[in-house]
Amino acid sequence: MLPWETSAEPDHALAATVRATSLGKLVRDDVLGMILRGEIQPGQRINEPDVAARLGVSRVPVREALRELESSGLVEARKHSGVFVRRLGADEIRSLYEMRALLDGFAGRRAASLPAGQRQRLAQALDASVSRMQDAAQAEQVSTYYSENLRFHWMLVEAAGNPALTETYRNIIQKLHLSRLTNLSHGLGMQASVADHREIAAALRAGDAGRCERLLADHVERAHERLASHTHSKQGD
């Protein structure tokens, strides 16, 4: 399961898991899942008593979980108002995309430098992902396309074999997901994006590390340009 694809656990699974981890972590994962699935929207208040009642815990682990989510930049506490899912501003989104372009490029260079056998297996997985993206784009299934897009990039990040990269990338993607939640009904350049991913997979298969790095960085920058242009046009409506 990808870090942005969390699913609600049934009560019996939650009860079985509680022995192996802290209540605060369980609550954090539950609330994080609701945020990433769009069940709690950016700008919406998180109701602490409701979370506590639903999970059968006290308010203490809920507050602990929300403090952790606040430190990761996903929620914000407002004095006398409560805790809200964050709305990211344009400057922060741009900064996050700039960092993501660097990280994606680094991951692509590392992955394209893998030994031939590993590289070919990864290329096959990437080609299959591109095919699924193409199918979703043709069917105008934007949410399905978006999830597959994330999976493609995550395969490259994992293949880079750098735990610090993996953790940093996860944090950036989860924050950027907040900005994507309000735009999932729009297919922002899906066909052009599919073509980008196909080129990236081909460069990796060929072991061209420099080209793979450049293609990924450029792809992320164009994705931000499309998102920024769409957001600006909506604001001008």
Same domain, 45 and 159: no
In a domain, 5, yes or no: no
In a domain, 1, yes or no: no
How far is C-alpha 60 from the geometric centre of its chain's CA atoms? 28
Domain boundary among 28, 59, 85: 85
- 112-145 tens-digit pLDDT: 999 999 999 999 999 999 999 999 999 988 888 9
In a domain, 203, yes or no: yes
Burial class (CB in 10 A: 0-12, 13-18, 19+), 50: exposed
- On the CB side of 146, CA atoms within 13 Å amount to 21
What pLDDT was estimated at residue 142?
85
What pLDDT was estimated at residue 187?
57
What pLDDT was estimated at residue 109?
98
Same domain, 76 and 95: no
Domain boundary among 64, 85, 106: 85
What pLDDT was estimated at residue 7?
45
In a domain, 6, yes or no: no
Give the chain's residues under pLDDT 70.
1-21, 181-188, 230-237
Same domain, 200 and 175: yes
DSSP the chain: --TT---PPPHHHHHHHGGGS-HHHHHHHHHHHHHHTTSS-TTPEE-HHHHHHHHT--HHHHHHHHHHHHHTTSEEEETTTEEEEPPPPHHHHHHHHHHHHHHHHHHHHHHHTS-HHHHHHHHHHHHHHHHHHHHHHHTT-HHHHHHHHHHHHHHHHHHTT-HHHHHHHHHHHHHHHHHHTTTTTS--SHHHHHHHHHHHHHHHHHT-HHHHHHHHHHHHHHHHHHHHHHHHHHHT-
Same domain, 107 and 223: yes
Q: What is the pTM of this model?
A: 0.82
Same domain, 62 and 103: no
Q: How many structural domains comprise the chain?
A: 2
Same domain, 32 and 121: no
Same domain, 197 and 182: yes
Same domain, 179 and 204: yes
Domain boundary among 62, 85, 108: 85
Residue 45 lies in domain: 11-85
Tell which residue, 100, 118, 219, 188, has the closest CA to residue 159.
118
Instruction: Report the CATH number that the domain containing residue 69 is assigned in CATH.
Output: 1.10.10.10
CA-to-CA separations, 51 to 29, 30, 75, 86, in angstroms, rounded:
12, 9, 15, 18
Please, what is the average pLDDT of the chain? 87
